[in-house]
Every structure is written in structure tokens, then in C-alpha cells.
Amino acid sequence: MMSTISPVFSTELTSVPAFETGFTPWDISHLFSVFDSSMDQIPVSAHDYGSVNQISTDVALTESTDERKKKRKLSNRESAKRSREKKQKHLEEMSMQLNQLKTQNQELTNQLRYVLYHYQQTKMENDRLRMEHRSLQDKLLNIRQVLMFRQIERSSLNCSTWPCSNSTVVTVQQDPSIML
């Protein structure tokens, strides 16, 4: 059985309507004249239909494979985009957290400096007060000793009127709280 396949290119498509601006494209019919002379009608036998069916099946498989590849590529691009966006979001969150931690660290450092400064001031004042306390204790001890010696002197002066022994021993204690 013989049938015909019309040529791929035809001179029928050579007239192109004018553009709305009034410009008419050039005539391209001479470009297709090579195809018109050699391929007016190509005979095809029934034997060739099997290979045409095979070709159409192969083309369909190739198209479905190409379509799957395109879908996979698109899916991969979208996944990569989501991954980049997620990474960028995570990076921004880490950057914000870093800034917060730096601020918090600076605040804690300032608080530590404040506490250390006041600790040093308090320690110096405490040391000064301890030294003053020792000095005042020494003065108090000296005053008590002086008072004690005066009492002893008075008592020895009064001894002439009172009977007393000359063997009186006076001891001075170092702890001022006992002397009161």
C-alpha cells in the first residue's frame, strides 16, 4: 500500500501578513524552493509504517524521559532554593543571636567592672577602718594604763594615812575589755 507524506516545508507559508504598522516583511519563498523540487511527494510503503510506529514510540519515550528530567531538574532547583533560603534564615538567626550575646556579654562585663570597683573601694575602706580600730585600741590601752598608774600613785599617797604594805604588786592587763 502506498501513501504520500507531504513535504516538511512548503511554499504555501511564504506570505506573511503585514504588521499593524504597515510594514510588510520580505518574501522568503525562494528559501523553500530547494525542498519543493526534491520532496514533492515521497512514497511510503506499509513496511515503513512499523518503523514509523517504532519511531513514534521512541519519540514518546524520549519525550517522557525528557519530561521527567525537566521535572527532576525543576524539583532539584526548587529544593536547592529552599535549602539556600533555609540556610540564609539560619545564618540571619545566628547573626541576631550573636549580636544579642555580644550585647549581653558587654552588659555583664560592665556589671563585673562595677562590682570589682566597689569591691576595691569597700576593701580599702575596710582596711582603713581596721587600722583605725587598732590605733584606737592602742590609744585606749595607753589611756587605761595611765589611769591605772595614777590610781596606784594616789593609793600609795593615801597609804601614809592608811595602813598598807609596801609590797603591793600592780599588774596591767593587755585586754581592755577586762579592765572596765
Confidence tier at 13 by pLDDT (50, 70, 90): very low
For position 9, what pLDDT does the model report? Answer: 47
Q: Which position has the higher pLDDT, 125 or 1?
A: 125
Mean pLDDT of the chain: 75
Expressed in percent and rounded to 5, the helix, strand and coil fractions of the chain are 70, 5, 25
pLDDT, position 63: 79
Nearest to 45 by CA among 103, 100, 2: 2
Determine the Cα–Cα distance for residues 65 and 177; give it in Å rounded to an integer: 107
Position 17 pLDDT exceeds 70: no
Q: Is 42 helix (H, G, I), strand (E, B) or coil?
A: strand
pLDDT digits (tens, 9 = 90+) for 140-170: 999 999 999 999 888 887 655 555 555 555 4
Show the beta-strand stretches assigned E in 14-121.
Answer: 42-44
DSSP string, 94-162: HHHHHHHHHHHHHHHHHHHHHHHHHHHHHHHHHHHHHHHHHHHHHHHHHHHHHHHHHHHHHHHHHTTTS
Q: pLDDT band at residue 29, thresholds of 50, 70 and 90? A: low
pLDDT at position 23: 54
Give the lowest-confidence range in 14-18, 26-30, 118-122, 163-167.
14-18
Which is higher by pLDDT, 138 or 61? 138
Cell of 71: 521535572
Residue 11 pLDDT grade (very low, low, confident, very high; cuts 50, 70, 90)? very low
Residue ranges covered by each domain of the chain: 61-157
- What's the first-to-final CA gap in the chain, in angstroms? 146
Partners of residue 99 on adjacent β-strands: none
3-class DSSP state of 44: strand
Segment among 8-17, 61-70, 153-162 with least mean pLDDT: 8-17
**DSSP state, residue 115:** H
Q: In this predicted model, what pLDDT tens digit does every residue of 94-129 receive, in sequence order? A: 999 999 999 999 999 999 999 999 999 999 999 999
pLDDT band at 179 (very low <50, low <70, confident <90, very high): very low
Cα(166)–Cα(156) distance, integer angstroms = 9
- The amino acid occupying position 106 is Q
In contact, 35 and 8? CB cutoff 8 Å: yes
- The owner of cell 513496511 is 47
Give the residue with greater pLDDT, 79 vs 3.
79
